[in-house]
Amino acid sequence: MTSDHLERGALAGVGGGLAYGLFVATVGNSFTAGLETFEHGHGGSGPVVSGLTTTLASVGGGVLWGLLFGVAVFGVGYYLLEPALPGTGATKRLALAGAGFLTVSGAPWLVLPPQPPGVEQALPTETRLAWYGGLMVVGALVAVACGLAYRRTAGRSRVVTAAATLAPLALLAVPVVLAPANPVHGDVPAALVAAYRWTVVFGQALLWATLAAVHAWLGEPATTQVDTDYPATAD
């Protein structure tokens, strides 16, 4: 692996993490602060943290997450998987970003969707963590299956290729059916819970899309060159 791959992954991570952190700081934090009023009895107040501190923490945390995903997925992952990714150029990055989103968030959220402050879950934390980790593995395997299906049908019509590529996503219904029930309760209205979840989904989609866009803008990483110039031997 060349250092160029890691550097470009890190730069993409900074760009994606900054966009995500700013989104959380400007939209997510305001939404969460409003929801916390339900957690404290519709008008109670919890600990007050300065807006500047909260903003800096959100942006800094977003950049750290971006760096993690940028180096791991668009640095190491792109180096290992680039020949198998569908499409060319930006399409390859979008495919990799989609696989990352599916693995880290999409598949686990089908069973354990994001919950806002003030909502309590029935399943214990240890059980939820175990299921989340297992669903990440399932998401990664489904993403690989989608890639393999694309390669097998790449020479056929676009409709056939698209249908075959998306078909493995149906496998995600299996863990949804097998997962234990996790009833939740709290004072937050259902409409606000749904709005909170879509806000989180949008934030994660923004993170992965920006990672892909920045990485594509940086261009293809340099490949390792093999020196074929050998010293001349004496006659």
Taking Cα atoms as reference points, which of 211, 183, 25, 207 lies closest to residue 119? Answer: 183
Give residue-wise pLDDT tens across range 164-200: 999 999 999 999 999 999 998 878 888 888 889 999 9
CA 1-96-5 angle, to 5 degrees, is: 20
Is 184 within 8 Å of 120 (Cβ atoms)?
yes
Q: Read off the pTM.
A: 0.83
d(CA 224, CA 192): 51
Taking Cα atoms as reference points, which of 18, 19, 15 lies closest to residue 202? Answer: 19
Is 206 within 8 Å of 23 (Cβ atoms)?
yes
- Each residue of 81-92: b (16+ CB within 10 Å) or e? beeebbeeeeeb
Give residue-wise pLDDT tens across range 92-149: 999 999 999 999 999 999 999 998 887 889 999 999 999 999 999 999 999 999 989 9
